[in-house]
Amino acid sequence: MNPAHQNPLAALKDIHLPPIPGWWPPAPGWWILLLLFLSLISFALYKWRQRQLRQRPIKQALSELAQLNLKTEDPEQQGLILQELSALIRRFCIVFFPQQPIAGLCGQKWLEFLKKEFSGNAKGKAKELTDQELFPLVENTYSPTNDTDLVALGRIVEQWFLRQNKKPRPSHD
């Protein structure tokens, strides 16, 4: 063989390919996608927790309302049940409306608050309640004789508890 006739490229070695890229670390786009996904999951958990915290007093109030025996003909028991029902509504309002001074309301002011809350804040979905429908919660609780329809009053209170779930809850400012 003649060195002059030899191909100069024959002495070169073959092309070396780079190693196959690994799966780690991911490209920046995957990091952004992961961050977006984690943010979305965190927001969903936050909203779920807020909903659970909002529903807790409603569920507890409905449970206590269900435990009250609202079907009684004994006037002495009716007075006791009205006292317990009024106390339940007051406790619920103190928890659900913390920015309002509810604990000190009594008499006509408590009746006005109840009337406003039971009928005024439902955006036209609830009927306007009269003073006579809510009056037993204010005055008849201590009356020796009582002819209040506790079942109807219990239904009004139950519907009001359920409506609170649909309204935006006031902030704790």
Q: What is the pLDDT of residue 113?
A: 86
Q: Is residue 52 domain-resident?
A: no
Domain that holds residue 102: 59-167
Residue 21 lies in a domain: no
Task: Report yes or no on 40 lying in a domain.
Answer: no
- pLDDT recorded at residue 140: 62
| CA dist., res. 98 & res. 167, Å (int) | 15
Residue 169 identity (one-letter amino acid)? R
Q: How many domains does the chain have?
A: 1
pLDDT of residue 43: 98
Name the pTM for this structure: 0.68
Residue 18 domain flag? no
pLDDT for the residue numbered 1? 54
Burial of 118 (0-12, 13-18, 19+ CB in 10 A): buried
Q: Is residue 12 part of a domain?
A: no
Identify the pLDDT of residue 47: 96
Q: Is residue 34 part of a domain?
A: no
Whether residue 39 lies inside any domain: the answer is no
Q: Are 66 and 155 in contact (CB under 8 A)?
A: no
Residues of the chain short of pLDDT 70, as ranges, are 1-4, 75, 120-132, 140-146, 167-173
Local structure of 123: helix, strand or coil: coil
Distances (CA, A) of 22 to 27, 31, 35, 147: 11, 16, 21, 81
CA 29 to chain centre: 36
- How far is the C-alpha of 104 from the C-alpha of 29, rounded, in Å? 58
In a domain, 44, yes or no: no
Alpha-carbon distance 159 to 78, whole Å?
21
